[in-house]
Amino acid sequence: MQKFNLKLKNAPKDAPQVLCSVNSSLNKDQSLSVKNKVLELNSPEVDLPQRKEEKNLRVSSMVYVLNKKGKSLMPTTPRKAKKLIKENLACVIRRSPFTIQLKYATGENKQEVTLGIDSGAKNIGFSAVSSKKELISGTVILDDKMKSRLADRRMYRKLKRNKLWYRKPRWKNRVSSKKKGWLPPSILRKYFTHLNLIDKIKDLLPITKVVVEVGNFDIQKIKNTGIKGIEYQEGDLLGYNNVKSYIFTRENYKCQLCGKLVIGERTQLHHIIPRPVGTDKPDNLALLHKKCHIKLHEQNLQSELKKSKQYKEVTFMNIVKNRFQKDLDCKLVFGYETFTKRNELGIEKSHINDAFVVSGGEKQIRTVHFEITQKRKNNRCLQKNRKGFKPSIRKRRYAIRPKDLVRVKGKLFVVKGIHSYGKWIRLIDKLGKIINKSVKKVDWVFHNKTLTWER
């Protein structure tokens, strides 16, 4: 018999070529090596169902594309973007997130892209999805320092006014009494960050629909679940002569630090969260002995006191919930809807996953997410009074600013700050080590604005 020398591509190695009833060693089991799965080329290493499951995992990042006029198009792959740049058909206009602009005219074929926003007072989640893929996602960490900066500004202005001989009274010049719908600067900055983020994503992707998750909270119901009717109009101080008598009753006439009775002894009301960050509300006041109050400050025992629950985030959401639809003309969803849908899909709780669900995501291919930190655009403090030194006055804004990317001897560094009147720059390397270099030895690479994007 002539030997069959041709090697079959699709033939499994453990299958016989000819059936034989005489030799039992040739009658091997011809069932599939992996049951209930269709194999590609009968090889167990290439598994079609397994590849479908891997599609639900996070894939590589995308490159965002602008047309010749600067309008957003559908994103492309890094491989295709590299080819376009190499052939001089596109140029890089933004490093992070990586964005290219085409140099030739193209068609305007776009898909429907929905942007989902998980709004919040400390973190913002965002996710934009098409019918098949998640195109961008991430979390914005808000810079919650506006109140402390306003307190510093008030201190510097007060010091400056005290040095003047005469100044016209301006106590009647209050914005809150002039403008309807006025918001405090701390809340206004957070709200504008939401709007700026949506605008930046619209510059990267052709967004056709925006959906924002908001919340509606009853703070009095959170404090007292049984409250109803006229009780909403009656505060905690109802029936008490003043704040001190209410706190005495609330603490059962006991010092919050040592736990002993305060009857017949000198007492002091202490701010648990110090001013100007804290408030004068009864929830932020603790009853202490006079001696315990001195001991608390001398030994730094503030952590021993019971801090009351803060409702700043809840208050922020109650204020801005109706402004999104007015300013963006978007669709609003509530947290309980997101919670129900997220549990049906079996997705873990996070800001990114909430935004993915809000945008209508279900089985789309996920993408690598961004982590965005917010920084101040300008340092408005022009003068610092240092004890024993002459005042340090900054006369101009420096070209290189914190969080910028610079190159020194071929290596990339992140800028921490500038000192010595702009002559020296403080850098951070990949290991977190701080290095000081002369500005003349530094080459500027990339400027990060208010939002710093990192993968």
Helices H / strands E in the chain, number of each? 12, 19
Region of 212 on the Ramachandran plot (φ > 0 left; ψ -120 to 50 alpha; else beta):
beta
CATH class in words for 114-165+182-217+313-374: alpha beta
Cα gap 416→397, rounded to integer Å = 15
- Taking Cα atoms as reference points, which of 294, 290, 292 lies closest to residue 264? 290
Query: Could you name the CATH architecture of 383-450?
Result: Roll (2.30)
Residue ranges of domains in the chain: 38-110, 114-165+182-217+313-374, 237-304, 383-450
Cα gap 139→374, rounded to integer Å = 11
DSSP H helices, 321-430, are 323-328, 335-345, 351-358
pLDDT at 21 over 70: no
Cα gap 331→310, rounded to integer Å = 29
Mean pLDDT of the chain: 82
Categorize the per-residue pLDDT at 204 as very low, low, confident or very high, splitting at 50, 70 and 90. very high
**pLDDT given at position 157:** 78
Give yes or no for a cis peptide into 75 (omega within 30° of 0). no
Q: What is the pTM of this model?
A: 0.76
Query: Could you name the CATH architecture of 237-304?
Result: 3-Layer(aba) Sandwich (3.40)
Q: Which has the higher per-residue pLDDT, 378 or 206?
A: 206
**pLDDT given at position 26:** 44
pLDDT at 353 over 90: yes
Residue corresponding to tokens 């804004």: 397
Mean pLDDT of all residues in 395-416? 86
pLDDT at 58 over 70: no
**pLDDT given at position 218:** 87
**pLDDT given at position 125:** 96
Least confident of 147-161, 179-193, 215-229: 147-161
Highest mean pLDDT among 282-286, 306-310, 387-391: 282-286
**pLDDT given at position 178:** 63
**pLDDT given at position 175:** 66
Residue corresponding to tokens 């929905």: 114
- Taking Cα atoms as reference points, which of 149, 100, 140, 145 lies closest to residue 451? 140
Cα gap 435→442, rounded to integer Å = 12
Q: Which has the higher per-residue pLDDT, 253 or 224?
A: 253
Pairing of strands 123-129, 134-141: antiparallel
Cα gap 288→268, rounded to integer Å = 5
Residue corresponding to tokens 């849908």: 341
pLDDT at 151 over 60: yes
Least confident of 10-14, 33-37, 58-62, 165-169: 33-37
Span between the terminal Cα atoms of the chain, in Å? 65
